A and B are shown apart, each in its own frame.
Chain A
Amino acid sequence: MNESLLRSLTPGVLGVLVRRGADFAAAEDAVQDALLEAVRVWPDDPPRDAKGWLVTVAWRKFLDATRSEAARRRREDRLDEEPAPGPAPSVDDTLQLYFLCAHPSLTPSSAVALTLRAVGGLSTRQIARAYLVPEATMAQRISRAKRTVSGVRFDHPGDVATVLRVLYLVFNEGYSGDVDLAAEAIRLTRQLAAAIDHPEVGGLLALMLIHHARRAARTAPDGSLVPLAEQDRGRWDTEAIAEGIQILQGALARDRLGEFQAQAAVAALHADAPTAEETDWVQIVEWYDELVGLTDSPVVRLNRAVAVGEADGPRAGLAALAAVDGSVPRHTAVAAYLHERDGDLEKAARLYAEAAREAPNLPERDHLTRQAARLNARRSR
């Protein structure tokens, strides 16, 4: 049984239940139960209509849960047992679920967890393992998130930008445990792209595809990071890159530039270069100028300083870096790199070591420590 196919039905099924009048939190639990039952039953007894099967089972589980809850509270069961099928265009339901799960009243970590469960169909245990927290903690995070959005009207249109931010967070969590969150983020963004026509959704999908295409080349067999310039470009997934570029071109043709399209354009220019030396840094700087105009983010200015260093030389890069807020993460690492390019190896080695102490994760810390060690070894020779 194809698990991601099964999970792709999650938002549509949940949408039907909510449109029938089920409370979102209870409906979401019922859909999870139905997914578990499908995993158990389908291998021996595959249904002809997978979605119809899930809707039937989920609705029954919802009614059972509501009835026992109602009985417990000695309350009348006000629910209609034979609901009218009702108009339930599944594409709209899917979109509404993305909006709900990324609702601005949620914290980023809650929105991520709720999206992965209610839209992605992942179990609480899978999400907990992916984020390296106890299952009980993740269960509470999700039920709290459900309570937070319980008063939100399901058919109220939301903001695509908040949904994209949540999906980008999932993508950057990468891979740990048994769930590949980057691949899951791509699946969810692809599904979103099918539900709404928006150039930034295309931009984000393109960005993810192109970055993901380089994943195999980004890590050496020993787990250490391989910088972009040193990656074996033969190991890049050219099919994913081509798809990403095609999606990006479609988005850019709409002439509504946004942050993710511009970031994807930078990624595409890297992916397009047959060798690191042939990278079109001048065009990359131009895209960063667009990004500065769109976001005015110090992280973008930092990236721009790197690109300027490649396009116009390290001195120009250092001049651009001087205008960037020094507290931005990885500022020291960029300074180290530009000073090395400028020939000041002593300063570069010192800065690499300092950057290693500030690194946010182990692979980056080890990479930066190796850079410092490489320069120190060269100087003592």
Chain B
Amino acid sequence: MAKYLLLKHYRGAPASVNDAPMEQWTPEEISAHVQYMNDFADRLEKTGEFVDSKALAPQGTFVRYDGEGRPPVTDGPFAETKDLIAGWMIIDVDTYERAVELAGELSAAPGAGGKPIHEWLEVRPLLGGHSADTDCPSHR
């Protein structure tokens, strides 16, 4: 029982096998892709493993504190940012192997030519919010 983030990148992940940009797909291929993603989330809800799924706009603004009484400084978006997150799915599964299996299935979403994209997805464990009630050795 652990949560994992399946992270999808606009940029920053290695190139997919079927790497055609989405705007060059046919409208039917786009619909098939969207349908696959929705079905995947529905299926995970039925297996009791779905937690959350969100997509992100590619445009973002960098913001930082600029000192007492001053408005925050904003910058960007930076076209050259190497790592750009497209969205995520959070799953709650029994094992790491299951998380990898599901990421593999998600990566098989159809793209250009109706063929799987073979997109690289990043699997990241979520850190738990609390430590177990038992004292673990590192606390001793």
Q: Which A residues have a C-beta under 8 Å from some C-beta of B?
A: 107-110, 112-113, 131-134, 136-138, 140-142, 144-145, 169, 171-176, 182, 208, 211-212, 214-215, 218, 225-229, 270, 302-303, 305-306, 310, 330, 333-334, 336-337, 355, 359-365, 367-368
Contact = CB atoms under 8 A, between A and B. Distances in A.
Contacts of A113: 48
A141 B132 CA distance: 23
A171 B130 CA distance: 13
B127 A360 contact: yes
Which 4 pairs of residues, A with B, have the shortest CB-CB distance?
A141-B48, A333-B138, A361-B128, A172-B132
Interface of B: 1, 3, 44-52, 92-94, 125, 127-140
Given A330-B137, A355-B138, A109 B130 contact: no
A211 B134 contact: yes
A229 B140 contact: yes
26 contacts: A131-B92, A133-B92, A134-B51, A134-B52, A137-B92, A169-B1, A172-B134, A174-B130, A174-B131, A176-B129, A176-B130, A211-B134, A211-B135, A215-B133, A225-B131, A227-B140, A306-B140, A330-B138, A333-B137, A359-B127, A360-B128, A361-B131, A363-B130, A363-B131, A364-B131, A368-B138
A361 B139 contact: no
Contacts, number: 121
Contacts of A176: 129-130
Given A131-B92, A169-B1, A361-B129, 6 more contacts: A132-B92, A133-B92, A173-B1, A227-B139, A360-B127, A361-B128
Given A227-B140, A362-B127, A362-B129, A109 B48 contact: yes
A113 B92 CA distance: 13
A185 to B, nearest CB: 9
B97 to A, nearest CB: 12
Contacts of B135: 211, 214, 218, 228, 270
A360 B122 CA distance: 18
A214 B133 CA distance: 9
A374 B65 CA distance: 28
B49 A137 contact: yes
A142 B127 CA distance: 25
A133 B45 CA distance: 10
Nearest to B130: A174
Contacts of B50: 133-134, 136-137
Contacts of A359: 127
B46 A144 contact: yes
B48 A144 contact: yes
A131 B2 CA distance: 10
A30 B33 CA distance: 41
A172 B130 CA distance: 10
